[in-house]
Every structure is written in structure tokens, then in C-alpha cells.
């Protein structure tokens, strides 16, 4: 389990069933979903919790693309724009 770890500078607080408690105790402003394995039903549950507390919800995705020539500069801009 990743609870308690820091991944890419972001602290992992907990897992299933703890979200409502954690967002209240930790005064969370934003939640980042990093797993592609979370069901749409669970995402909708998380979204309802976030909307009720005015918390921003984001989902991280990984994009794989071919890089050739000038495309390398485009990829560097994409990965450093702060949206990840």
C-alpha cells in the first residue's frame, strides 16, 4: 500500500473508505487520481465527495507518443506545463 508515502512530491494519505475523513482532517484542496484501474463508479463517488466540499479533482494520464525531430520540444513543453 502507498499510504504515508510521498510520490513525485505528493503525499499519499489513504485508500478506500477514508476519503471523506481525510479531506476533512487534512483540509484537502485538490485530489489527484493516478491509477487507471479505478472504476467510473468509484470516480463518481469521489467526485460527489469533492463537489460537496469544493475540492478540485484531477485524473493523471500517461501519454506515449513517437518523438521525431522538432517534436521533442513539443513533448518537453507538454510535460512541464504544470497540469500533470
Q: pLDDT tens across 14-64, in order?
A: 666 788 888 888 889 999 888 888 899 999 999 999 999 999 999 988 888
In a domain, 39, yes or no: yes
Which residues are CB-neighbours of 74 under 8 A, at least 6 positions away? none
In a domain, 25, yes or no: yes
Closest CA to 10 of 58, 43, 44: 58
Pairing of strands 10-11, 6-7: antiparallel
Residue with cell 467510473: 40
Residue 10 lies in a domain: yes
pTM: 0.63
Distance CA 39, CA 55 (A): 20
CA–CA separation, 67 and 69 (whole Å): 7
pLDDT above 60 (res 5): yes
Q: Which residues form the domain of 43?
A: 6-79
- Tally of domains within the chain: 1
Q: Is residue 31 part of a domain?
A: yes
Q: What does the pLDDT read at residue 15?
A: 67
Residue 1 in domain: no
Give the model's pLDDT for residue 43: 93
Q: What is the pLDDT of residue 7?
A: 77
**Considering the domain boundaries, does residue 73 fall inside one?**
yes
pLDDT score for 55: 95
Q: Is 84 inside a domain boundary? A: no
Looking at residue 28, which CATH number applies to its domain?
3.30.1330
Which pLDDT does position 80 carry in this prediction?
Answer: 45
Amino acid at each position: 500500500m502507498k499510504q504515508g508515502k510521498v510520490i513525485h512530491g505528493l503525499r499519499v494519505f489513504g485508500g478506500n473508505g477514508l476519503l471523506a475523513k481525510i479531506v476533512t482532517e487534512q483540509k484537502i484542496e485538490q485530489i489527484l487520481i493516478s491509477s487507471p484501474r479505478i472504476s467510473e463508479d468509484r470516480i463518481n463517488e469521489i467526485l460527489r465527495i469533492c463537489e460537496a466540499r469544493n475540492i478540485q479533482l484531477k485524473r493523471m494520464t500517461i501519454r506515449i507518443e513517437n518523438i521525431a525531430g522538432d517534436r521533442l520540444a513539443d513533448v518537453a513543453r507538454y510535460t512541464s506545463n504544470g497540469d500533470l
